Amino acid sequence: MLFLVFGIWYFVREEPLPVKQPEQSSPASLPGITFSGSSVVEQQDGKTLWDLTADTIEMSSDSKTMRFVNPKGIYYETKEGKIEITGLRATMDTKTRDIVMEGNVKAVNSAGATFTADTIKYFSKDKKFFGTGNVVVTKEDTVATGDQIESDNNMEKIILKGKARVVKGGQKP
């Protein structure tokens, strides 16, 4: 009899069931959107200012930054046509449109002037390029090297800083 009473009590007693809480994740930890073989283009008044293509483009979950793998950019706002820029990776601030490109970065304008650096930053508001690390600028038969470079969007006005050296005749110093 005691066994029967205990069995009834066991089944009718009120005990809360454990409630499984849903997993919570912060917006910053959510994965972004990834595109393959896509491009980002900025236009103004129907004219393309620049475009940036890449093997992979990733938009952060907060939509503040975009990351590019093997980017190739073409900047059209120049007097001499365009500037093509390549690198291993890039990051773009979606609000300011500032771009940082890293890893074997090379920029070539339509006239054949080039500059290479470890990192190149483009500031959209100022329309200027800044390069740091192993900077080499070649224009016609002149080669310039330095630690840092600042250039206008036409690669006409160039400022080299840090161990700057210019050699006429095309030989790298």
Per residue in 16-71, pLDDT (tens digit) is 544 444 444 444 433 578 878 778 888 888 888 888 899 988 888 787 888 999 99
User: What is the pLDDT, as a whole number, of residue 171?
Assistant: 55
Residues 6+ apart with CB under 8 A from 166: 142, 143, 144, 160, 173
Give the per-residue pLDDT at 172: 55
- Which pLDDT does position 106 carry in this prediction? 93
Instruction: Report the C-alpha gap between 118 and 105 in whole angstroms.
Output: 6
pLDDT score for 71: 94
Q: Which residue has the higher pLDDT, 104 or 112?
A: 104
State how far the Cα of 161 lies from the Cα of 128, in Å rounded to an integer: 16
pLDDT of residue 117: 94
Q: Is the pLDDT of residue 3 over 50?
A: no
Average pLDDT of the segment spanning 76-84 = 77
Q: pLDDT tens across 106-153, in order?
A: 988 888 888 899 999 988 888 888 999 999 988 888 898 999 988 877
**In angstroms, rounded to a whole number, what is the distance separating the alpha carbons of residues 53 and 170?**
32
Distance CA 67, CA 101 (A): 10
- Placement of tokens 């997993």 in the chain: 23
pLDDT band at residue 88 using 50, 70 and 90 as cut-offs: very high
